[in-house]
Amino acid sequence: MGKWSRRAFISAGVLAGGVVVFGVAIRPGNRADKVAGLIAGEDDTVFNVWVKIAPDNRITAIVPHAEMGQGVHTTLAMMLADEMDADWDLVDFMEAPAHKEYANYALAKGYAVGDVDFPSWLIDTVDGFFLTATKAMNLQITGGSTSVPTTGQAGMRVAGAATKAVLLQAAADSWKVPLTELSAQKSMIVHSGSSKSATYAELAGAAAELSQPVKPVLKTPDQYTIMGTDVQRFDVPPKVDGSARFGIDAVLPGMKYATVKASPVFGNAVKSFDESSIQDMPGVRKVVNLGDAVAVVADGYWQAKKALDQLAIEFERNGNETVEQSDIFNQFAADMDRAVSDGEEITDFEKGDAGAAMSSADSVVEAEYRVPYLSHAPMEPMNCTAWLHDDVCELWTGTQNPLGFAAEVASALDMDTANVQLHNEYLGGGFGRRAFPDYTIQAARIAAEVPYPVKLIWSREEDMRHDHYRQASISRFKAALDSSGKPIAWINQYVEKYDPAEAPHIPYGIDNQFIHYAESKTHVPWGFWRSVDHSLHAFFTESFIDEVAIQAGDDPYKYRRNLLEQAPRFRDVLDLAAEKSDWGAPLPENWGRGIAIHRSFGTIVAQVVEVEIVDGTVFPRRAICAVDAGFAMHPDGMKAQMESGIIYGLTAALFSDISIRHGAVAQSNFHDYQMLRMNQSPEIETYIINSGEKVGGAGEPGTPAIAPALVNAIFNATGKRIRELPVRLHDLTNEDLKSKDVA
Amino acid sequence: MINLTINGEPHELDVDPTTPLLWVIREQAGLNGTKFGCGIAQCGACTVHLNGSPIRSCRTPVQAVAGKEITTIEGVGSIDGELHPVQQAWIDEQVPQCGYCQSGQVMSAVALLAKNPSPSDRDIDLAMSGNVCRCGTYPRIRRGIKKAAIAMNGVADSGEKING
Ligand code: FES
Ligand code: FES
């Protein structure tokens, strides 16, 4: 828990207008009142912004994060309910309305004078909004695997414990008995010395008059009754019968439909189009020029799409029309060369003297790797329904950042943020894409031109060609080995750094390290993609350490293990994955096994992949995953996230590349940006270590290690080292590649 | 005017006959459980049943199904609201993540089990590979199908080995 005091809390809350609201120590008559109208039904007592108790003793956990399938509503509710000793059967959840009182940045900034970890990319984003959008906080982000480690640990649990404390106090006051004789169990306060008991609801009114403790005592893991169990997720039943409402399912009276086409070369302005060529087409209502895109509004999506497809649009040229993917990689390579020759390396991490160690090496291993741009391609294409009426802009969409979106829309329409109301629906996949508000701003701007609500739906083609892409990159390595094969120096240069800062760092005990990078900007828009920079650096570093191990004549698992002597937590995770995979046991012909380990978002994951190569096609048959996230709040949910992260990572490693042709994205839909499907999906086994270390994330850490584990397995099966993703680009049919001594 | 039956209810629709069935289901019939994912028959999010067989409604012009029986996710359970065994297995195995693909997955799985009460892993691969799940719920979908198969075959058949 961070070091914070009542004083810090109260003053910060008063001064920064919402910045320090995080659901604990909210006194009646204070902050909670501002949001009471939004969340409380008649007769509900709002204790603070995270929890309410209804007269029927049902407790609602108010969760400030979007549900995109990671089970966050359930997990955060569990954390609150456990600390409250609530009866789980009487617990509901509600997604916090898009209101600045819920900004989870508050959690970090107001509270985190101590050790609450917050990813730096999020801070930057927040500060950006903070400075440009409003003076208030406009953030309620779901991303960076932060929900459980920050909101859950520092918000929900503290709020639950604080609420329980005042309920106990209220009972003690009204029964005139000492607190020590009272206990909380299943949403009741019970007095041990008599038969007295009362429900939380009965005590709620009196408890709300009391000051909540600033530092309530939290449970230790042996006291958990809900955390660590596999309760059923709240969001599953509506997702099996079609009743779950996603952004795309919004329906409003008189609503029309729109679809949009932006300049294929990013950012070019619309030059001309002939509106009259489509205005008589059936159902067409309006054509809207958005500056860098044209939208058609019609009675139905299909009519809008057909008309837009027929509309010839000319865009301005900005000079990027001649850029090809090969130019981008050439530019990267040249900028990397130049950084070194000009002595302009940007240091990422340095330890010892890698250059000197290199010259005393017994042998040197070198390799260069490449990864392509990637698109998020969530199953639900971008969409937003917007309606401007009575000076208000209402929005229905799925977003990882509802407050930020509302602020951006307000600034695009030159409105007061308070007049933008965003209704966040289920997200049909996020993966980082739904942290960018472009589609929402478009919808609002179209709606501003018409007197009725408009549902904007992007075609899949638009979705793929106007994403914010995971960067392409090159990474170069040089390792020095001593005569025993042990690495004594590690030099790594890569291009383009985003976040998190530690993504390229290695856990291995190598005395001399120099990790540096070069900048090389392109015109391709960048975005957070599941696990962000970890998604490329784990592929780079864990492929290279494999190459080093092979060069040293050692077993890839044992070699790593020997280098993890000073990192016992990593070693335990690696050992578990190796053990569960029967590492070393013989495999059939054309099969191979590979291993990798990586830490991201506070969670360590080791994975072993077994592949079978059938006529040159790679079939990942089995994936073994060991994970240490400190403590798994919802073990089955943790497993689901590992499965998801693995398949997302395998899809990218095997198939995915976004490439630039004539300045635009060449791919357009699932036929040329392929997805892993059932027939190539491995069996997945996940093993959880509850080490008791600080709680880490789950949504992203499953992804980084799987690509290197896969290519290491392919090497094991075929003797072919894949240094450029995706695997699809490589011919694996050549039997001659198979080197018997690596099997 | 085009006539068709959706989940047992007759509909008389005034639409362009080339409109894909998907948009008719969503916008005219107001049934939002069937999803748009790609529009080119590559992802299966829009899967519905045409006289019991799974089709991709995003590439099926509505005129092609005139006079036919369409079933969507909303019509797959029993009339009194009881879930189909596939839906129940989906809850038991906690299959969905974001959930967006799952209407299509359930429709494909229901059609598979109607035809083949004890599918092997290979049968599941063949029947389900047209349905993309970006959240990677495939291992759970496989388990869900096997579980539903056992439930549907009843106790008498449960001795029969299900492959895989
Ligand atoms: S939307 Fe029909 S198959 Fe993708
Ligand atoms: S559950 Fe998200 S796409 Fe399948």
CATH 1.10.150.120 range(s) for chain B read 85-152
The reported pLDDT for the residue numbered A413 is 96
The reported pLDDT for the residue numbered A696 is 86
A93/A77 Cα distance (integer angstroms): 6
For the stretch A674-699, pLDDT in tens is 999 999 999 999 999 999 998 888 88
The reported pLDDT for the residue numbered A50 is 64
Residue nearest to atom 4 of ligand 2 (CA): B133
- Asked if residues A631 and A698 have their Cβ atoms less than 8 Å apart, the reply is no
For the stretch A372-402, pLDDT in tens is 999 999 999 999 999 999 999 999 999 888 8
The C-alpha angle A253, A259, A263, rounded to 5 degrees, equals 150
- Asked if residues A442 and A242 have their Cβ atoms less than 8 Å apart, the reply is no
Over chain B, what is the mean pLDDT? 93
The reported pLDDT for the residue numbered A146 is 57
The reported pLDDT for the residue numbered A632 is 93
The reported pLDDT for the residue numbered A64 is 67
Q: What percent of chain A has pLDDT over 70?
A: 83
- CATH code of the domain made up of B2-75: 3.10.20.30
A299/A306 Cα distance (integer angstroms): 12
For the stretch A420-466, pLDDT in tens is 988 889 999 989 899 899 999 999 999 999 999 999 999 999 999 99
What does each C-alpha distance from A477 to A370, A422, A480, A556 come to in angstroms?
Answer: 12, 47, 10, 17
CB atoms within 10 A of CB A193: 10
Distance from CA of A306 to the nearest CA of B (A): 10
pLDDT at B93 over 60: yes
pLDDT at A469 over 90: yes
Q: H-helix or E-strand containing A713?
A: helix A706-718
Asked if A240 and B87 come within 8 Å (Cβ–Cβ), the reply is yes
For the stretch A359-373, pLDDT in tens is 999 999 999 999 999
Which tops the pLDDT comparison, B138 or A7? B138
The reported pLDDT for the residue numbered A97 is 65
Over chain A, what is the mean pLDDT? 85
Q: What percent of chain B has pLDDT over 90?
A: 88
- Asked if residues A547 and A367 have their Cβ atoms less than 8 Å apart, the reply is yes
Ligand 2, pocket-test mutation among B101, B129, B142, most atoms within 8 A of CB: B101
The reported pLDDT for the residue numbered A25 is 32
Q: Which residues of B touch A246 (CB under 8 A)?
A: 35, 99-100
Residue in A237, A636, A678 closest to B128 by CB = A678
CATH 3.10.20.30 range(s) for chain B read 2-75
- Asked if residues A133 and A407 have their Cβ atoms less than 8 Å apart, the reply is yes
Q: What is the SS3 string spanning A557-572?
A: HHHHHHCCCCCHHHHH
pLDDT-wise least confident of A66-75, A147-156, A543-552, A651-660: A147-156
| Domains of chain A (ranges, CATH numbers) | 2-241 (3.30.365.10), 247-318+382-457 (3.30.365.10), 549-739 (3.30.365.10)
Interface test with B, best of A375, A636, A678, A681 (most B CBs within 10 A): A678
Asked if A300 and B23 come within 8 Å (Cβ–Cβ), the reply is yes
A82/A609 Cα distance (integer angstroms): 37
Name the token pair of A81: 């309910």
pLDDT-wise least confident of A46-60, A165-179, A467-481: A46-60
CATH class, domain B85-152, is mainly alpha
pLDDT-wise least confident of A59-73, A90-104, A362-376: A90-104
Interface test with A, best of B38, B102, B125, B142 (most A CBs within 10 A): B38
pLDDT at B100 over 80: yes
For the stretch A98-155, pLDDT in tens is 655 444 433 333 332 233 333 333 333 333 222 222 222 333 445 545 566 666 776 6
Average pLDDT of span A497-510? 94
For the stretch A729-743, pLDDT in tens is 999 986 554 444 443
The reported pLDDT for the residue numbered A93 is 85
